[in-house]
Structure 1
Amino acid sequence: MPDIVEFRAHRVALHRGRRPESILVALTDELGTVGWGETALSDEKAWDDLEHRIGPALPGLEWEHPEDLGGLSALGVPSAVAAVETAAWDLWGRRHGVPVAHALGGTRTSIVTGARVPCQPTLESLAPTVNRYIGAGYSRITLEVRPGWDVEVVRTVRTAYPALALQIDGVCAYTDSPEHLDALEAMDGYDLTAIERPFRDLAPHASLQRSVRAAVAPDVTDLDTLHAAIDQHAGRALSLRIGKLGGLTAARGAHDLAYASGWDVWCGGSGVFGIGKAASVALASLPGCSLPSDITEFAGGPEYVTPPVRSSGGVVAVPLTQPGLGHEVESARLTRLATADLRFTRG
């Protein structure tokens, strides 16, 4: 594999100076082939790691396959590594004429999509938001909940949509106090598919899984945590998040372990500029990703990859005829949105 001769990173916001922000990474090889990666900017450490450790180490680095880049995990936080490693998969796929979905072992030609609904200002504003997603064909809704915004929220949506596949995301806001456990069990009574990351610590998930019918999905950030969750029976479902796990290779490893253990799996999106979502589509094509994945947004906003990563009738196609991630990046438009740039070259 030709060396990486240039590393570029761009810190990009949809609206200058405002969130959401993403880090975009472009890797260029000796032949001028470019691979792209994206990760949501969740903390400043990711940008600092790219600037001072990962970026300077990449130009001239010899590698044959993205799996050879596992050592990058020692140089930065998982989200920074994920952006670089995704770009390496895209570059490798383009060089070899192979779709990343195929290279990862994906078998699906399309992905069923779900949608996430954040906490709303009022219950009255909740139903129209959910209805908008259902009207667009999304087959599963995940409601973000927190103590005080939970049981009544789930009751309202379930009453309005009795047959809807429904999940909740506790965003690690609950504890194993009797009050919080009562609320989680009460929400389970409304026929939930999954209860995602209710607790910050792993230990309470096992007792909750014993007391609810829904599959509990702990917040997994590495394979050691997943091994422990499986051993402790602390769940039955896994949400794959490329940025948290440190890239496509690690996410595929988590998928393989969860799938072999009989867990349900779905994939979360990453970033808002299309590149991260394209990587999530490739990951969600793996055979164990049997639940609807949170990948796309509504059409109508600006698009920065061609073709757009867009759900149609609740389904997004896996690009199986194009190399790499399967999308062309509107690099000039994206770099104009950048609030900061990094560039390192060989020699």
Structure 2
Amino acid sequence: MFELYFLSIAERFYGIAFPGMIARTGVVSERTIRNWLNGKAVPSDRKRDAFVRRSMSWLQKELIAAKWPEEKREAYLSQLAESRGGASAIIQTLHWGGPDGCPSALDLARRIDALSLALGEQRERNDMAGFVQLFHTAWLTDEHFKNPELKLGPAALRESTNHAMQWGDLALPTTVLLINLQLQLLATLDHEFSARYLPKFEPVPVFHGLFPARTACKSGGPRIRGKVRLPVCKLLDMMACLRYYRLHGKWPAKIPSVSEAAIWMDVLSPMLAKWRMGRQFTVNDFDNAWLHMFKRFPEHSRPSPPAPLLYAAVVLTRLFVIGSVEKNNLSIAEGGAELYLEWWARQRETSEVHLDAPRAGVKTWISDLF
């Protein structure tokens, strides 16, 4: 049910359409994948099984080429078999991309995938009663149906699904549910990423600083209508500030200009300006820029690329940025930042279950700059 949404996140994260992503493996052609997705062709069970086998064989070879130890390869492939959908696909990658991973986020992502699959099956069967019943799945709460823009409260919106007369009546509750599930997942990842990557800093919602925002006049006057500070723009500013902190042991007094950020990040200003103006900023771009930023540091002290930050920027762009830079019609869907803070507060206890001890960092994060 939510697969196309999560697929769009993966495509933005990797910078390539899903059919092309699969075709790169050589397992099946891009045209075949497109036909499967468009419903022009339905793969037989034999073809599906062959696709899975060949995909796993390809992945095994890639991991060997990347010099993963055998024990790590087997553990990764074993866990991968438990991830059955789009939500867990990227989280699985992030889980293995950093120290100790993000087990709580991965567990939640798998539950989201299972729910998505079940909703999709009921929709295909045209079973509205079965579809509605899934809105009352045990681990879902009324908070999953909260939307600050609606006059209808979360409990009332959830209850309204019991009286749906046609599929169109369920479109809004389903969309609100998806947004809240994604924010819950993001908040869980925020906690786990921050606890492991930024353990010396006080526990704060780091990803909250990447929400899109309207910019203010430089004079401090009223906000300029239509001017939006994009999540990727804020991510690039955050990256520059992180390198400044590593160099000077303190945060900068203000967000850098493009030229200042280019100096702090040790990248070319024109490329940085293009990314800030909406040019696609993929995980490869992110990794390369990050590694370049810290290439002058001793190898043992270079921090690994914090890919969850890019994932957060991609998600927040997809959910809350409306329009495009090219068409000069950017706007922001309101209410998301406040809703995220609520999920972040709820998920703290859940996320700390896998930690050896509660977070106790005391250093100040750069919240005031974002």
Given the two structures, how large is their TM-score scaled by the length of structure 2? Answer: 0.28
Relative contact order (C-alpha < 8 Å, sep 6+): which is higher? 1
Structure with bigger helix share is 2
Larger Rg: 2
